[in-house]
Structure 1
Amino acid sequence: MDKLSFLEVIAAIAVFISLLLAVFLVTVKTERKLENRLFAAFLIINAIDISGLFMHLFIDSYNLKTFKISAYLLVMPPFYLYVNSVCYSDFTLKKKHLLHLIPFIVGNLILVPRLYLAEGPAKEYFFNHMWHSPEMFFYQLIGELQFFFYIIGVFMILKKYKKIYLENYTNPNTLLYKWLFQLTIIFLFIHVCIIFKNIIRYTAYNDLFIWLHILAGTSFLLAACWFILKALNYPELFRRIDSTLQPTKDFAETLETENKTDETKKNQIEQLRNFMVEKEPFLNPSLTIQELAHQVGIPVRELSVLINHHINQHFFDFVNEYRIKKAMMILKDSTKKDITVLEILYEVGFNSKSSFHTSFKKYTNQTPTVFRNS
């Protein structure tokens, strides 16, 4: 099998898996219909884009082939919207999101005079030489600007999501942040391969051009398979936040200017610490800062500033510190040697083995088992 045939096989498999996963996402019964449909749209558009590697075997229409090429400009918008829908529980599609179609529309409009409206030899000549035309240079420029605009946008969303989650929730699905971050890095890597491939297109290194095609196609195929494995192994992966929540730094200065003396803050911190020890609210695995504020009787924004600025910890670390301390007591209790580490982590408020081990090692520099036996 030569390299071109191998590339066509890889592309066909990638298209098949992408479409299969898209069908599953659209038909599966779940409350998260919007995010599933957005990711399905992302997969379908990618499948259309990749199908160009073997489309020539079945389709002769120059217009259809060119329209397929322009589908690349529709790849990133659904991924960007998907990340929004996964991170924010109140995200909905609105008419303004139709603006994401502008690059796709512009990219096709510039091809109208010399391709879509052309006929006969003129159309054939332009299609066969279009990658050296001003129109396609402008198209590629739009594509690169669009891609990095969305990639930067995705990283900004993830950065805000992680910060707000750590400040407002315990046992957060940092898995979600890590997973989306990893997924974005994979797509960035694939795109870098595509950039090099497009550069090599204008050189005499045809073999390298094909191998970069194969690398990009294989990477996308593996990414689709990886997504399936993640969905199967971590069905509880997603816990979203309200987009109206703000990072503490956005309102900390305002609260600091109010009449809150150092003595008042000191008393509130002491009140909070006593409450954590006596009432043990951290045993609730889904405790949020809003719930703790209600229980301890401190306004939620004041509590957020107390923990994140005056105690200098994220809410996540603040609560998990008490969980770890309680776990340490149980691990060292000779009367509770029969209780397994897994039972202990659930007892003290964790609901994830990986989260417990990460927090325990961060606090003690030891694993729970080593600590128990030391």
Structure 2
Amino acid sequence: MVESIVLMFENIVLVVFFSHLLVATFLCSLRTGNRLSHKLFAAYLLVAVIDLSNIIFNDFYQAYPNLDMLRYNISLFIGPTLYLYVKAAIYNDFKLKIKHLLDSTPYVIACLVMIPNFFSVDNDSKQLWYDNFTDVPELTFIHFMTFVQLGLYLLVIYKHLKRYRKVVVENYSDAERLNKRWLTQLIFLFTLIYIIGLGRMFFRFSIYHDYDYERLVQLIMIISMLLSICWILWQALHRPELFTGVNSTIEVLDEVAARQEHSNAPKISTVETEKYEAIVSRLRDYMPQSKPFLDPFLNIENLAKQLNLPSSELSYAINRIIGQHFFDFVNSYRINSAAEMLIANEQQQKTVLEILYEVGFNSKSSFNTAFKKHLLMTPTQYRKLHS
């Protein structure tokens, strides 16, 4: 029974190893889309491949223990590569800089920690380390540092995803740009694997150390990695352009308000309030007359140019005076226009799909979601109700 479990574990690791390697090679070969984000995600997959390689090439690493220790510490690059990938995916102006080399600092620290009692000793002494793996302070320190570091990176990643959503709803009207669901799900999967890894660490280093339980949790973690890469492949096959980035210099209103509060800037005056109310009045006249919302890629900057206004003032008027995000504000006009077309006698021959493209939407799913949000029913139900 035990031998069959071990064999199954090794086979799954082999599948995970080569699937990660295959996807990483594919991403590096792509010449379209966000090539930097592709390469950074490939880097993450390669780090995972190297981290798993000791299970497949155990005999090789036993012959070269120094190389094995360098491999053991490679997991300290999982957090940085994942973090840099997310930034490259959500910010279309992201570039790698010299300062990003600082993300390798934990790896350097781990290697330095191992110099006195591992890299500087003979192979027999190194073997003693392997025989007493859980009792070696240096290895315990590296293990805990790895999980603390990865946990912090995951928190920062979730913070960036939250900020991305705010930037989109305040400045863009195309729902495809808002579609961060796949990336959020991806990070959720990594978080799940991280939590499973914490369970493995518990059974390895706590007073409840149990090798069988540790092996079982490791098996669950490897299976989770296999399911994750299968899910990634499924997403890539069905949606080649998974993500549309935004400019990282765009501020969300909460950040602007926080900066003004920190600088003790005076609150908005009565004169300025009247100015923004005038902008709102002008905007409400312009939207139904010129119908800029018919442009599926309308954003706050383009609309501001049409009105000959600073984009910051227009954004403040919509988000603060009207009390809607730009995304919802524009979609409300699209939905109202679609609702009129759905029940108009001369439009009865048009399908829902034709109408949604005419009013500025570029996907059926985003149209149905927005329509139900604004009118509490689907487009088909609305048309039947008013027929």
Question: What TM-score results when the alignment is normalised by the length of structure 2?
Answer: 0.92
Shift of 1:255: 9.1
Would you say 1:69 and 2:69 are equivalent positions? no
Paired residue type of 1:170: S
Residue 44 of structure 1: aligned partner:
46
Q: Give the letter aligned to residue 243 of structure 2.
A: F
1:24-35 matches, within 5 Å, as 24-35=26-37
Say yes or no: does 1:186 pair with 2:197.
no
Superposed displacement of residue 357, structure 1: 0.9
- Correspondence 1:79-228 to 2 at 5 A: 79-173=82-176, 176-202=179-205, 203=208, 205-228=210-233
- How many residues align? The count is 374
**Contact 1:4 1:210 survives alignment (8 Å):** no
Instruction: List, as ranges, runs of 4+ consecutive aligned residues in structure 1 with deviation greater than 4 Å.
Output: 252-256
**1:91 match: secondary structure:** coil
Change (3 A) 1:120 1:205: closer
* Alpha carbons of structure 1 residues 249 and 199: separation in structure 2 relative to 1, 3 Å: closer
Structure 1 distance, partners of 2:23, 2:123, is 40
Moved more, 173-182 or 97-106: 173-182
Shift of 1:118: 1.2
For structure 1, list consecutive stretches of 5 or more residues without a partner in the other structure.
none
Report Cα offsets for 1:167-206 as digits up to 9, x if no partner.
Answer: 0001143564222211111111101111111111244533
Give the equivalent residue in structure 2 for 1:266.
277
Q: Match of 1:4, as an amino acid? A: V
Cα distance per residue 1:249-297 (max 9 Å; x no partner): 3335669636734433322211101110000000000001000011122
Distance 1:73 1:293 in 2: 45
**Pick aligned residue for 2:242 from 237, 240, 257:** 237
Partner of 1:281: 292
Q: Which amino acid aligns with 2:119?
A: Y
- Tell me how far apart the structure 2 counterparts of residues 255 and 44 of structure 1 sit (CA, whole Å): 52
Give 1:57 shift: 4.7
Counterpart for residue 334 of structure 1: 345
Any conservation in 1 of the 2:173–2:326 contact (CA below 8 Å)?
yes
The answer (yes or no) to whether the contact 2:277–2:321 under 8 Å persists in 1 is: no
* Inter-partner Cα distance in structure 1 for 2:54 and 2:269: 62
User: What is the identity, as a one-letter code, of the residue corresponding to 1:243?
Assistant: S
Q: How does 1:353-364 map to 2 (within 5 A)?
A: 353-364=364-375
**Could you tell which deviates more after superposition, 269-278 or 202-211?**
202-211
For the Cα contact (< 8 Å) 1:321–1:363, is it kept in 2?
Answer: yes
8 Å CA contact 1:162, 1:174 repeated in 2: no
Take 2:132 and 2:296, find their aligned partners in 1: how far apart are those partners? Answer: 61
Contact 1:90 1:242 (8 Å CA) reproduced: yes
Output the amino acid matched with 1:69: Y
Which residue of the partner structure matches residue 8 of structure 2?
A: 6
Q: Structure 1 pair 26/120, CA: closer, same or farther in 2 (3 Å)?
A: closer
* Counterpart code for 1:353: K
1:369 aligns with 2:374: no
**Residues in 1 aligned to 2:382 and 2:105: alpha-carbon distance in whole angstroms:** 58
AA partner of residue 6 (structure 1): M
Q: Secondary structure at the match of 1:246?
A: coil
TM-score normalised by structure 1 residue count: 0.95
Greater mean deviation of Cα atoms: 252-261 or 157-166: 252-261
Q: Which residue of 2 aligns with 1:308?
A: 319
Please say if residues 50 and 217 of structure 1, whose CA atoms lie closer than 8 Å, have aligned partners that are also in contact: no
Distance 1:29 1:209 in 2: 42
Report the alpha carbon displacement of residue 21 of structure 1 after superposing the two structures with TM.
0.5
In the TM superposition, residue 58 of structure 1 has moved relative to its aligned partner by 4.4
Identity of aligned residues (%): 36
Q: 1:18 aligns with which of 11, 17, 20?
A: 20
Moved more, 251-260 or 193-202: 251-260
Tell me how far apart the structure 2 counterparts of residues 141 and 346 of structure 1 sit (CA, whole Å). 53
Q: 2: CA distance between counterparts of 1:258 and 1:36?
A: 48
